[in-house]
Amino acid sequence: MKSVETWLDEYGESHQNPINKNIHWICVPSIYFTVVGLLWAIPVPSVFLSVPYLNFATIALVLALVFYIRLSTTLAFGMLILSSLMMYLIVLLERTVLPIMIGNYSYGILELSVTIFVLAWVGQFIGHKIEGKKPSFFKDLQFLMIGPIWLLGFIYKKMKIAY
């Protein structure tokens, strides 16, 4: 398995342009949130209902954390915090403002996630058009998992946290 440094360096190769980097600071967390939201919105089997918050999002996040732990326990801890905040935000939205009724249509976490997901990917592709390089995930789908820790790595460096 590649080291975390190798993954981050390879990801960084197609993220050199400052505008593309700035776009990524908005779009990568947005995409991460929307993937959690999309998975959260999938109806769960009745056997899941006896365990609070057990759904496809939490299962996927546990699997993602296993991937991150294999790369860096420190970055994995950061992703655990980020993932927990994303799930908290989803629960908060569902308990306070969602669903929103627009005419006869109920606009919930699924619809919100799809909308943000599409807009964020448009932003990503605009950023890569400016960069002049294809997104990294065209090379390896695992790069979809690297984007969030690539950004987290910058935060850790700023805070002088080793990973």
Check residue 76 and give its pLDDT.
Answer: 99
Average pLDDT over residues 79-97: 97
d(CA 125, CA 135): 8
Average pLDDT over residues 73-101: 96
Give the rounded percent of residues in the chain with a pLDDT score beyond 70.
100
Check residue 57 and give its pLDDT.
Answer: 98
Check residue 73 and give its pLDDT.
Answer: 98
| pTM for this model (two decimals) | 0.92
Check residue 134 and give its pLDDT.
Answer: 84
3-class secondary structure, 72:
coil
d(CA 75, CA 95): 30
Contact predicate 39/64, CB 8 Å = no
Check residue 86 and give its pLDDT.
Answer: 97
User: Burial code of 78-113, b = ≥16 C-beta within 10 A, e = fewer?
Assistant: bbbebbeebbeebeebeeeebeeeeeeeeeebbbbb
- Residue 106 pairs with which residues in a beta bridge? 101
Check residue 135 and give its pLDDT.
Answer: 83
Q: Tens digit of pLDDT for each residue in 90-147? A: 999 999 999 999 899 899 999 999 999 999 999 999 999 999 998 888 777 889 999 9
